[in-house]
Amino acid sequence: MKKKIILLSFLTVWAIALSACLFDSDEEGLSNWLSDHGLPDSYNVQTLSVEGLVPSKVDVYRDTTPHIADDRIVFGNSANMSHEMALEFLYRADSAYLDRFSKADTIGAYISFSMLTPFYKDDDIPVDLLPIKEDLKVRVSWSLRKGKYKKFVDSLASVSDSVWLRSLEDWEPDVVVDTTYKIKVKKADSLVYFDMPDAFLDSIKTCYKSCHLEVRFAAPETENLYRFYATQKKNYPVFRMRAVNEGDTLNYFKSYSPFRMADVTVNNDCSDCLVLHGGVADSLVLEFPSEPILNALADFYGDEFPYTKGDGNDVRQAVVLAQLTFARDDSEGENYLGLPIQVLTGTYLDSAGKESYIRELYKVNRKEVVKSGHKNMVFYEGDSLTLQITQGVRNFINRASSGKTLKMMMRLGAPQLQDKDSTYKTHVVEREVTKTKVTNGDTVKTTVIQKDTSYVFLSYHDYARYDFSSMMQKPVTLKLWLATKRGDDDE
Amino acid sequence: MNKFLFLILCVACFASASMLGMDALGEEQVHGGMTNTAGRGFAGGAKTGDAEGLSVVNPARVAFDTKVVFNLNFLIDLTAIEKDDYAYSSNNIGLPSFNFSFPMGAYGALGLSLWQHYSSNMDEDVKDTASNMDAQVKYQGSIYELVPTYAVRLPFFRMLSLGGSAHFVIGSVERSLSFGPDNSAVDKKDSWATNSSKVTDYVSGNWEIKNHPAYYSVALQYRGRQSSYFFSFTTPYVLQNDLAYNLRFSELDTLVPTRYTREIKVPALFATGVNYRLYKRHNVMMDLQWRAWEDDIENIAGSWDMPSVTKTQNDFMVSVGYQRDGSSLFYDPYLERTTFRIGGWMKSWYVKDVYEYGGSLGAGLPMGKKGTTIDLALQGGKRTTGGDGNWEELFFGIRIGLMGVGTWGQSRGR
């Protein structure tokens, strides 16, 4: 049996060797066969510019929902938008301490916040962030709910973040107090103390068992935006009570940390102004009329657009890349960190009959970027904004017979540190460093490779504001890079 | 055995068989691509024996079998195409058929075949001179037929048998062409946008018979002392291929394909054959089959400059062969027990102006005493074309058939 299998194996190898010898093959053989059968070995790229497009509909969507603050939170005002801090404390009161607190000669309480040190120390931010000095007018409001048993606290702790965030939208405080704090922040690692008003002290005296305390700070009049650590970092905010009797040599403190925090935003721009804010999920949704695009395609190919034959789905050509160029004027915008800000784009596709949103990819024009920077940024040199919407246009032409329009979304993204970086992603840069050392009288030179991480985007938002009104009134150019399946005399 | 399987898999990596009719139906595996038939030049549809097994062309033959036959066929195919000074060669491995027949004595015989009737296989990379990227060309199509068969010897006329089979068609076809860009027609400053962007022209679809579950074959076989004959008729049918055409950039694309159904009218097939026993264990045989194509076959095409139809012609095949049967006596020398075959054929393809001339050598190598056999066939030949975009082909193939024989259901006394 084994011998026969070996014989068969031998025959197979022999056959392959025979094919190699007798059945000659050359590099161009297959290419020529493909060409004889009307098959290409590459697709022809054609470009088409559709000029003078004007959005037929522009809607602005404001992000007014509170956001959970895990590792950082902002407080204050920026670009017509107020950021309030909401803190939730869930704790079992220490009744012995509370007795002391209620009877002590001097009592007090504060909530302290640590400045977001790495932000204020970040050398990549080209503007001076510190010092901050002001009389900060703050509206402090709070509500306190009391329970007897631990399960009161446990049940509230089990409330999901989303439910809690929703509750913040129509939250009614028990007490509201306006107060002013003297703020002096010189160092990046400073603490900011908000001493709590007397009414607050009276409130917390009443909770002896299980306590649910919600506190909100708002500073609608300030011109500063403070960035603090939030709950997930070791420098989390602290709510601390102090009770001192005459003659005490020790301070008696009781501290609690917030169970969770949220950034509650209040947008002061008019609801239909075409303004987007950075740091929040404001978005602009644009629709372009289909006729000018389809007419341009019809003129270009000499075909019928929209394609209505058969099932009407058009795969005669494909959009390899599509980009829109808008006229840009940054004068109506405000940014604070002195860096350009990328504009993110997304489009709305038809997925199994339902509209679904997809974030567009960005292909870098490397040569151009190195020379004159990315074109998808605002607060940057130049007078145009170029955005890629490849998947959206591909989908639009594919289903043009359904009568849908080209719909896209714009949003302010992250501040860009390297405006002329063609990699467009965080990467490691290696460089050789020569070190000289004297050992036993000899000078020894050693070369080491130092690695630095090159970040393209800043890790912090610029709570900027950009007004797109004038941009939306000016004509837009859509440029398409197309691959077609049409043959020389086909279709 | 593992080494052997490894070798087969290695060959399978360079998959491409005949490139004729690739956009239509592909290459036909005549007579189920059975190794024993291929060894005698695809003749011998009329040859009867104890364990000849199923014939997809002559369903009546199996009625004369007395043993259960289990048969699995492999094909290793080497093809070289050439035109003018250009040549290209490729390899392919296939499994043309799997057959099982179960004789039941006076109650006739049952059989079941899984037959890859037509196949188109190609998976190649070609360097594109425009973008310097690799273009991938992939064709993968199979029209499988599941063929249940029943045959019975006629009462009183025991030298005659009547057989019938139904051919249930299943299968799929896929064509995938991935290309890089040719930026020669665009401004140099615009070429960045498509650099390294591959586009895949993708078509896929399923095969079935239109408005009917199957098509059918009927055959009449005569077995004489020296001569045996058969006549068979296969009904015409319409193959339906539901295709979806798309251009792809990634698997996550949400583009909706354009759907289209092509219909291929396959005409009736007439087949006949004769086997003549010269003297003990020596046979000569000749088979003929004929199918008159009327309509052109619509191609997958759908894009670029690919022709929309494949022109057809009358499809016939003449095959002649010789077989020396191996001795059934286990104590005979091994060469005596080995079956030897030789044959040749001339086939006019369904593709216009394509003619195939081939020859083959075969052997049936007995393995052990129970009748298990490894069939081996070496085949080679040429396919000529009348130009028109088709290239001539030289082909060489090795077929390996594993045949297990059993005597289930037979009592010792019979």
- Tell me how many domains chain A contains: 2
**Amino acid at position B122, single letter:** M
Query: Nearest CB to B89: which of A24, A313, A315?
Result: A24
Query: Nearest CB to A487: which of B86, B126, B305?
Result: B305
Select from B194, B200, B252, B337 the residue whose CB has the most chain A CBs within 10 Å, as the one to mutate to test that interface: B194
pLDDT: which is higher, A244 or A119: A119
- Report the gap between the CA of B385 and the closest CA in chain A (Å): 14
**Are residue A102 and residue A176 in the same domain, yes or no?**
yes
Q: Which phi-psi region, left, alpha or beta, contains residue B265 (left: φ > 0; alpha: ψ -120 to 50)? A: beta
Domain boundaries, chain B: 2-406
**Are residue A363 and residue A470 in the same domain, yes or no?**
yes
Query: Is A137 within a domain?
Result: yes
**Are residue A349 and residue A323 in the same domain, yes or no?**
yes
Select from A21, A39, A323, A364 the residue whose CB has the most chain B CBs within 10 Å, as the one to mutate to test that interface: A39
- Report the gap between the CA of B211 and the closest CA in chain A (Å): 21
How confident is the prediction for chain B on average, in pLDDT? 89
Residues B204-256: tens digit of each pLDDT: 999 999 999 999 999 999 999 999 999 999 999 999 999 999 998 877 776 88
Q: What is the pLDDT of residue B10?
A: 41
Query: Is A443 within a domain?
Result: no
**Are residue A72 and residue A52 in the same domain, yes or no?**
no
**Are residue A187 and residue A295 in the same domain, yes or no?**
no
User: Mean per-residue pLDDT for A98-104?
Assistant: 89
Residues A285-297: tens digit of each pLDDT: 999 999 999 999 9
**Are residue A169 and residue A293 in the same domain, yes or no?**
no
Neighbouring residues of A268: CB distance < 8 A, sequence distance ≥ 6: A80, A81, A82
Q: pLDDT category, B92, cuts 50, 70, 90? A: confident
- Report the gap between the CA of B373 and the closest CA in chain A (Å): 11
Contact A42 B376 (CB under 8 A): no
Contact A349 B4 (CB under 8 A): no
Contact A16 B91 (CB under 8 A): yes
Whether A277 and A334 have beta carbons less than 8 Å apart is answered as: no
Residues A123-181: tens digit of each pLDDT: 999 999 999 999 999 999 999 999 989 899 999 999 999 999 999 999 999 999 999 99
In 3-state terms, what secondary structure has residue A90?
A: strand
How confident is the prediction for chain A on average, in pLDDT? 90
Q: Would you state the structure tokens that stand for residue B238, as one six-digit string?
A: 């319409």
Contact A23 B80 (CB under 8 A): yes
User: Which residue is closest to A314 within chain B, CA to CA?
Assistant: B258
**Are residue A94 and residue A181 in the same domain, yes or no?**
yes
Residues A177-221: tens digit of each pLDDT: 999 999 999 999 999 999 999 999 999 999 888 999 999 999 999
Residue where a domain stops, chosen among A250, A267, A284: A267
In 3D space, the residue among A139, A136, A142 whose CA is nearest the CA of residue A201 turns out to be A142
* Residue A102 backbone phi and psi in degrees, to 5: -70, -30
**Are residue A141 and residue A187 in the same domain, yes or no?**
yes
Q: pLDDT category, A464, cuts 50, 70, 90? A: very high
- Residue B316, pLDDT > 70, answer yes
- Report the gap between the CA of B366 and the closest CA in chain A (Å): 10
Q: Which phi-psi region, left, alpha or beta, contains residue A449 (left: φ > 0; alpha: ψ -120 to 50)? A: beta
Residues B188-218 as b/e (b if ≥16 CB within 10 A, e otherwise) read eeebbbbeebbbbbbbbbebbbeeeebbebe
Query: Is A260 within a domain?
Result: yes
User: Mean per-residue pLDDT for B75-97?
Assistant: 87
User: Which residue is closest to B245 within chain A, CA to CA?
Assistant: A315
- Residue B7, pLDDT > 60, answer no
Query: Is A143 within a domain?
Result: yes
**Are residue A156 and residue A185 in the same domain, yes or no?**
yes
CB-CB neighbors (< 8 A) of A370 in chain B? none
Q: CA-based diameter of chain B, in Å?
A: 89
- Report the gap between the CA of A298 and the closest CA in chain B (Å): 18
**Are residue A50 and residue A82 in the same domain, yes or no?**
no
* Domain ranges, residue A411: 45-62+271-425+456-484
**Are residue A474 and residue A333 in the same domain, yes or no?**
yes
**Are residue A169 and residue A211 in the same domain, yes or no?**
yes
Q: CA-based diameter of chain A, in Å?
A: 109
User: Mean per-residue pLDDT for A69-95?
Assistant: 94
Query: Is A26 within a domain?
Result: no
Residue where a domain stops, chosen among A213, A244, A267: A267
Residues A251-292: tens digit of each pLDDT: 788 999 999 999 999 998 888 899 999 999 999 999 999 999
Select from B304, B383, B392, B403 the residue whose CB has the most chain A CBs within 10 Å, as the one to mutate to test that interface: B304
Residue where a domain stops, chosen among A245, A267, A289: A267
As a whole number of angstroms, the distance between CA A372 and CA A245 comes to: 68
Report the complex ipTM. Answer: 0.84
B2-406 to CATH, choices 2.60.420.10, 2.40.160.60, 3.30.565.10, 3.40.190.10:
2.40.160.60
- Report the gap between the CA of B389 and the closest CA in chain A (Å): 5
pLDDT: which is higher, A35 or B108: B108
Select from B90, B183, B256 the residue whose CB has the most chain A CBs within 10 Å, as the one to mutate to test that interface: B256
Query: Is A438 within a domain?
Result: no
Residues B253-287: tens digit of each pLDDT: 768 899 999 999 999 999 999 999 998 899 999 99
CB-CB neighbors (< 8 A) of A12 in chain B? 4, 7-8, 11, 76, 398
pTM, two decimal places? 0.85
The set of long-range contacts for A448-453, using a CB threshold of 8 Å and a minimum separation of 24, is A452/A428, A453/A426, A453/A427, A453/A428, A453/A429
